Structure 1
Amino acid sequence: MSRIQSFLENRFAPFATKLAGQRHLAAIRDGFISFMPFLIIGSLFIIIQDFPAPGWQELQAKLFGEGFNQFIILPKRVTYDIMSLYIVAAISYKLAQSYRIDAFSAAMLGISSFVLLSPITTTIDIDGQTHVVSRVITVGGWYGTNGILVAIITALVVTEIFNYFIKHNITIKMPEGVPPAVSRAFSALLPGFFILVMMLLVRLLFLQTKYQYIHEFIYNLVSLPMQRIVANNLFGAIGTVFAISLLWSIGLNGGTIVNGIMRPFWVPLQDANLAAIEAGKLPPNIITEQFFDMIWIGGAGATLAVVFLLMFKAKSRQYKELGKMSLAPGLFNINEPIMFGLPVVLNPIGIIPLVLGPVAITIVNYLAMAFNIVARPTGVIIPWTTPPIIQGFLITGHISGAILQIVDILIVMLIWWPFIAIMDKKRVEEESKMVYNGDNKSMNM
């Protein structure tokens, strides 16, 4: 145990801390987080459109007319379906902020560069004939979730070039007395011109290939293989929860680190599930970010089970009180009272079930969904503070998701119980010694 703790403290923790603070990964992570509220808003309208209740669609049509179903989904179209435009702006903005340069100009250059690299034509069918329509930015496709990887790369490259120009003073200098806002705008002129010319050349280069656009190239060579090998299979899911739990064991928020890396590969899978639901089909993908939301019952490590054990099985007065105080936060997936109060962080005994619990229910949940015993995630995003069981129902759109989370809590309780018993026994002994020493002191007085 001491060797494990020494390795975590002296080797793993410094590496993980450095990774979490890496400028570009932080910009990607913060960019997605800043856009997350809008995805939740879009998801709320998806729930309204496709609420899992018999006769809901017919009721909507009866009350509001036949076209209401497509009208109410418009907020989803302007959030999910042009997501890449928002993401390229958000990441450019966050990275520019870290360099302390004009973040707004970086975001605008990110958007314009992304559009330059993307198709601006589409096809429509009229009376059985296909027509090409030019000068169109489509809703969905490469402007939606499929273009996220290109959006990330574009944001990083554009901001790095912009930063190079600014830091090396390759800008147009305005005379003194010119308002700062005007001066700052003109400082983006030279780097902006260079960046857009460069993106135009990249577009021209890919038009000469079979891919036509960089999106197709990146999607086939990077995104699809990553989805198949890492993002959308059981082993990748196990690796994800293992990494997040291990990072939490040393006090680092593993979700912000790992999710920031994996989210670009999960989002297209989630969008495919949404598209299937809209078409009246079953969701094709099990692994989405919402799959992991169902794992983290009570927060990372699925620690709501620990709260129940402390409340109902622990004999230590301190642990019982900790369980009671941790219940309200745990019901809203806030785990810090358990992580730092038990503690689990840097506790060799607690680290083992912290990792084993989520891994076990990841396997159970994946197999339950793979064999269609439990409904798969619909792709709807809900706030991470949504209480468990309600969360499972909303994520899957089915009562089976709620039942699965109850089963998960019981499984994690079984895994944690032997370790809680060890810690509880030790804590009771310590409390008994404190009481005994206190009695002795009062007798001596």
Structure 2
Amino acid sequence: MKMNKINDLLEERLLPIAVKLGSNRMLIAIRDGITLGLPLIIIGSLFLVISSFPIEAWTNWLESTGISTYLNKGVNGSFGLMGLIASFGIAHSLARQYDVDGVSAGIVSLASFLVVTPNIFSGEEVPLEGIRLGYMGSQGLFVAIVLGIITALIFQWFINHNIQIRLPEAVPPAVSRSFSALIPGAVIITMWLIVYAVLDSFDLPNVHDLLMVILGKPMSVLGDTLGGTVLVIFFNSLFWFMGIHGGNVVNSMVNPIWLMNTDANRLAFQADRTAALPHIITQPFMDNFVFLGGGGATLGLMLVIALVAAKKKSSQISKTMAPLTLTPGIFNINEPAMFGLPVVLNVSLLLPFILAPIANAIIAYFAMSTGLVHGTVGVSIPWTMPPIISGFLATGGHISGSILQVFCLVIDVLLYFPFYVSVEKQNLAKESGQSLEEIQAKEHRGEAVRD
């Protein structure tokens, strides 16, 4: 009876909120825009792994031959462009949701991003002009989000109100779209140029620095503190439990902070491999130490299912689900367990589903803050990388990262085990046609569960 009430509460009160958040155009645009740069982040991480592999002879050889300089160039030219790419991707995604040309909106947004970014000048005989690489990367994420959303909204307003240059149908579509973007593009870029000019004329901080204070400070409470991270994990698990992709709803709001922390660690590690890293909570921290197996840290649950299925008297459901969940679970794919077991709306598993990733976060945070485990060095690991390997790579080749993952998995197994045993008894009762009370009575007497 209690379980039904909890399910009713979740479905009636929280599910509508989760659905609205999950379908919010702004959040979808932020998620898609940042994801657009993910291949570059991973490519840059590969260069970083190669240049900093923890073998002294190897790193010395790279330094002596000058190869490390080129590898760092590769890192900066890929990892260091996430803000610039996001400015295009966010505007592109949002414009397409309004059924207008996403590419044109993205290009206008990218140009606007460069317009509001301050230039740097150097050189005496031959003046040189450039843009700080930091603004193009993680430091530019807040500008990319705000500018991308505003640009796309203004762009679609012009197009949907037919304030555009229309060419005859005989004109190739690519040319026609380019001319359609002229009027909204000119207005938008001029608007951002005025914003830059006003701030510059009155010696005020540029847009990047302003948004870092206005948005960065409050957001860092959620994304850069243990308490805020626990809150994020709680809602992530709660939305997943209701069948809504928790990562798309909750994580998209704090991803910019995690990515900025990741990049800050990367820059610190590149500058001095022995120096203390500025942040503990980063994207690799969340992906590789908190969400082991996916949302809810379900790899621990999958290991429990495999252990239970190995028993002779296990249910047919456990025997069937063990290989179907464990194999993809090793690669952090948990949909078979979420919807096949299911975990979604299964109140019997709600508590460990919330507690397991929270326990992982607390354990990993204190392990890294006390120096027992090396922090994440800014390497972005593909999310399908299995644990132990991912922990080793995320911490810059330190075995302590792998050991921490094993420890967290053991804790997750211990958390999930008693709850899944309860689920298993329910499975056995259904399969045998007996009541749960009869099953428990037979277990108490030491009799076989199945007659």
TM-score calculated relative to the size of structure 1: 0.91
1:291 matched residue in structure 2 = 285
Cα drift, residue 319 of structure 1: 0.8
Aligned partner of 1:355: which letter?
A: I
Q: Tell me which moved more, 329-338 or 256-265.
A: 256-265
Q: Secondary structure at the match of 1:313?
A: helix
Cross-structure match for 1:115: 114
Aligned residue runs from structure 1 range 149-298, under 5 A: 149-175=142-168, 177-227=170-220, 229-280=221-272, 281-293=275-287, 294-298=289-293
CA distance in 1 between counterparts of 2:80 and 2:360 reads 32
User: Match of 1:90?
Assistant: 89
Which deviates further from its counterpart, 278-287 or 177-186?
A: 177-186
Cα deviation, residue 265, structure 1: 1.4
SS at match of 1:121: strand
Tell me the CA shift for residue 132 of structure 1: 11
Letter in 2 for 1:19: L
Q: How many angstroms apart in 1 are the aligned matches of 2:292 and 2:55?
A: 25
Q: Which residue of 2 aligns with 1:438?
A: none
Q: Tell me the residue number matched to 2:13.
A: 11
**1:73 aligns to what SS in structure 2?**
helix
Partner of 2:433: helix, strand, or coil? helix
Match of 1:31 among 24, 33, 43: 33
Deviation of the 1:208 alpha carbon = 3.2
Q: What residue is the counterpart of 1:317 in the other structure?
A: 316
Compared CA separation, residues 323 and 222, structure 1 to 2 (3 A):
same
SS state of the match for residue 407, structure 1? helix
Q: Within 1, Cα distance between the matches of 2:147 and 2:105? A: 11
Distance 1:133 1:7 in 2: 66
1: CA distance between counterparts of 2:306 and 2:192? Answer: 60
Distance (whole Å) between structure 1 residues aligned to residue 426 and residue 244 of structure 2: 27
Shift of 1:172: 1.9
Q: Is the 8 A contact 1:369 1:375 kept in 2?
A: yes
Q: For the residues of structure 1 that align with 2:188 and 2:70, how far apart are their CA atoms?
A: 39
Say whether the 8 Å CA contact 2:219–2:254 is kept in structure 1: no
Go from structure 1 to structure 2 and tell me whether the alpha carbon gap of 1:179 and 1:308 turns closer, same or farther (over 3 Å shift). Answer: closer
CA distance in 2, matches of 1:84, 1:318: 47
The separation in 1 between residues aligned to 2:21 and 2:28, in whole angstroms, is 9
Shift of 1:70: 1.0
Specify the SS of the correspondent of 1:283: coil
Counterpart CA distance in 2 for 1:334 and 1:175 is: 50
State the Cα distance separating 1:380 from its structure 2 match. Answer: 0.6
The residue matched to 2:49 in structure 1 has which SS? helix
Specify the SS of the correspondent of 1:251: coil
The residue type paired with residue 117 of structure 1 is V
Structure 1: distance between partners of 2:168 and 2:330: 59
AA aligned to 1:277 is F
| Residues 110 and 158 in structure 1, CA contact (< 8 A), matched pair in contact too | yes
CA drift at 1:176:
5.1
Q: State the 1:123 CA deviation.
A: 5.1
Q: CA deviation at 1:309?
A: 1.3
TM-score where L is the length of structure 2: 0.90
Would you say the 8 A contact 1:312–1:320 is kept in 2?
no
Counterpart residue type for residue 52 of structure 2: D
Does the alignment pair 1:387 with 2:386? Answer: yes
Q: Deviations over 1:317-340 (max 9, x none)?
A: 321331122221011111112112
Shift of 1:181: 2.6
Aligned counterpart, 1:308: 303
Distance 1:29 1:66 in 2: 40
Aligned AA for 2:234?
F
Give the Cα separation in 2 of the matches to 1:329 and 1:48.
28
1:137 to 131, 135, 140: 131
Q: Secondary structure of 1:171's match? A: coil
Q: Aligned partners of 2:127, 2:393: CA distance in 1, in Å? A: 39
SS in 2 for 1:382: coil
Please say if residues 321 and 341 of structure 2, whose CA atoms lie closer than 8 Å, have aligned partners that are also in contact: yes
Over 3 Å counting, the alpha-carbon distance change for 1:134 and 1:153 in structure 2 is farther
| 1:442 alignment partner in structure 2 | none
Distance 1:313 1:254 in 2: 28
2-structure distance, mates of 1:408, 1:78: 35
Query: C-alpha separation between the residues in 1 aligned to 2:115 and 2:306?
Result: 58
Partner of 1:348: 347
Shift of 1:392: 0.9
Following superposition, the deviation at residue 237 of structure 1 comes to: 1.3
Using the TM superposition, give the Cα deviation of residue 182 of structure 1 relative to its aligned residue in structure 2, in angstroms.
2.2
Residue of structure 2 in register with 1:424 after alignment: 424
Give runs of aligned pairs for residues 378-417 of structure 1, distance below 5 A: 378-397=377-396, 398-417=398-417
Q: Number of aligned residue pairs: give it.
A: 424
Amino acid at match of 1:414: L
Alignment partner, residue 448 of structure 2: none
Q: Does the 8 Å CA contact 2:135/2:208 hold for their aligned counterparts?
A: yes
What is the one-letter code of the residue matched to 2:422? I
The answer to whether the Cα contact below 8 Å between 2:36 and 2:85 also exists between their aligned partners in 1 is no
> For the structure 1 residues 122 and 395, does the alpha-carbon distance in structure 2 shift closer, same or farther, using more than 3 Å as the test?
farther
Q: Which residue of 2 aligns with 1:49?
A: 51
Kindly state the Cα deviation for residue 96 of structure 1 after the two structures are TM-superposed.
1.4
Letter in 2 for 1:239: L
User: Which moved further from structure 2: 74-83 or 386-395?
Assistant: 74-83
User: 1:432 Cα deviation (Å)?
Assistant: 2.1
Deviation at 1:386, TM superposition (A): 0.2
Unmatched 5+ stretches in structure 1: 435-445
How big is the shift at 1:383? 0.7
Q: RMSD in angstroms over aligned alpha carbons? A: 1.9
Task: State the AA in 1 paired with 2:55.
Answer: A
